[in-house]
Amino acid sequence: MPGILLGDQFPNFDADTTVGRINFYDFLGDSWGILFSHPKDFTPVCTTELAFAASISDKFTMRKVKMIALSVDSVEDHNVWIKDVMALNNSSAALPFPIIADSGRKLATLLGMMDPDETDREGNPVTARCVFVIGPDKKLKLSCLYPATTGRNFDELLRVIDSLQLTAQKKVATPVHWRPGDKVMVLPNIADDEVTKLFPNGVSTKEVPSRKKYLRYTQL
């Protein structure tokens, strides 16, 4: 399980990366951040993941989200592997986000990223496919932990970030399969006399057998 929980202050750290030494808080500034680990450089699933992440990096930038990756490899290995990653996109450009080198596994252990069931050729444990979304307040907003055998869906991560950013500003929740532009749900703790002021576009209520008025929808 991740070493930190939702709402916790995300630890600050200094690390060596493919763009030099960074301080994590300085790197984020006042932006949102997504930190995602992969098990190992020069492996098939990891290569497809980072190649796709690179191909849609502008979509994260549009949302003011800074991306940064991590694995237990060295900076030197990262820099060689990046060429393979970008070649999958038929590009020789630089990777549009840094990769943290954590060969000592200290940061991955601190953050609960290690996969106990996966090891490298030397028998050393590697990082799972962990995802952390960090808000501008430096608090953890979302965490996901995938095994090494399962690649992530970065389109879904964008959808989740859209929901996190919306619900951080509005007193709403997003229902199943929500996409930007869809109706959202009014939070259950919003009293009826507040609804008109908060949601001038109106609110519709779905009738259910319990007759409880908790399924309230609005269009923002």
pTM for the model stands at 0.92
Residue 182: give its domain's CATH number.
3.30.1020.10
Please classify residue 69 by burial: count the beta carbons closer than 10 Å to its beta carbon, then call 0-12 exposed, 13-18 middle and 19+ buried.
Answer: buried
What amino acid positions are annotated as catalytic residues? 46, 137
Q: Which tokens sit at 112?
A: 């609960």
Q: What is the CATH number of the domain that holds 21?
A: 3.40.30.10
**Structural domain contains residue 159:** no
Q: Between the CA atoms of 33, 16, 86 and 67, what dihedral angle is there, to the nearest 10 degrees?
A: 0
Looking at the 3D structure of the chain, how many domains does it have?
A: 2
Are 2 and 111 in contact by the 8 Å Cβ rule? The answer is yes
- What are the per-10-residue average pLDDT scores of the chain (220 residues)? 81 97 98 96 96 98 98 97 97 96 93 82 85 98 92 96 97 97 95 90 95 94
Beta strands per DSSP E along the chain: 14-17, 20-23, 32-37, 65-71, 99-101, 114-119, 125-127, 129-134, 140-146, 172-173, 184-186, 203-205, 216-218
